[in-house]
Amino acid sequence: QLQLRESGPRLVKPSETLSLTCTVSGDSMRSSTGTWGWIRQPPGKGLEWIGSIHNDGTTYHNPSLQSRVNMFIDTSKNHFFLNLSSLTATDTAFYYCGRHSIWVGMTDYWSQGSLVTVSS
Amino acid sequence: DTVMTQSPLSLPVTPGESASISCRSSQSLLHSNGYNYLDWYVQKPGQSPQLLIYFASIRASGVPDRFSGSGSGTDFTLKISRVEAEDVGLYYCMQALHVPPAFGQGTKVEIK
């Protein structure tokens, strides 16, 4: 059974960069033919796709965030990473990592999610 | 960007009855391979979203057959037959054909 766990700071200051790590366990990331993604949800609101990354490093970004998003992957250590720069209060959200089994869809495994608050 | 519109946004249901949620896409989700790239997820209170349906009508592993998906192109429906108390939650459709993938606003299913 695949498990994903995201880790990183829970409180970040405005204008700083959020760095999150997603650790995959239960199987090698290299066994997956889909992509690995980041999705967020402001408290009490809906879901927003941030971006996804393939095992070969190919990335897909949400254009609304593209200039602030950087993703990379280390399949040898079963990790993938998200950096989101120039934070503002509107970036306060629950951040989830997940596995997409079909390109950027069919997200069949999700992390528990962590609330990241942007505040001074 | 593709816009996903769900209705209704709130759905009170009596246990044992059926419930239907509509999802409309601003662009066709039909791929040249014949599949519609439309997922359904449920987010139960305090939990992460869970995959229910992919390719518009294929149930994910472990999902009860009370859940069924239908539709093609731009119009899709999730049906829950014989609603149970454990089905309470927020239901989202999501298109996965066009970048960026987009979710509907969510439909809150609650028990009357």
3-class secondary structure for chain A?
CCEEEEECCCEECCCCCEEEEEEEECCCHHHCCCEEEEEEECCCCCCEEEEEEECCCCEEECCCCHHHEEEEEECCCCEEEEEECCCCHHHCEEEEEEEEEECCEEEEEECCCEEEEECC
- Which residues from B are below 8 Å from A47, CB to CB? 41, 49, 92, 94, 103, 106
Q: pLDDT means per 10 residues in chain B (112 residues)?
A: 97 97 98 96 96 97 97 98 96 96 97 92
Chain A residues within 8 A (CB-CB) of chain B?
46-49, 60-64, 96, 100-108, 110-113
Question: Which positions ≥6 away from B62 have C-beta within 8 Å?
Answer: none
Retrieve residue B47's tokens.
């939990």
Alpha-carbon dihedral sign for residues B53, B55, B58, B62: negative
Which candidate from B48, B54, B99 shows the least CB-CB separation from A60? Answer: B99
Per the CB < 8 Å rule, is A49 touching B103? Answer: yes
Number of CB atoms found within 10 A of residue B76's CB: 27
Per the CB < 8 Å rule, is A105 touching B39? Answer: yes
Looking at the DSSP bridge assignments, the partners of residue A97 are A38
Per the CB < 8 Å rule, is A106 touching B39? Answer: yes
Task: Give B60's DSSP letter.
Answer: P
- Please, which pLDDT band fits residue A102 given cuts at 50, 70 and 90? confident
Alpha carbon distance B81, B64 (integer Å): 10
A54 has pLDDT over 80: yes
Mean pLDDT of A43-54: 96
Q: What is the pLDDT of residue B92?
A: 98
Average pLDDT of chain A? Answer: 95
Mean pLDDT of A61-73: 92
CB of B5 within 8 Å of a chain A CB? The answer is no
Alpha carbon distance B16, B30 (integer Å): 33
Looking at the DSSP bridge assignments, the partners of residue B109 are B11, B89
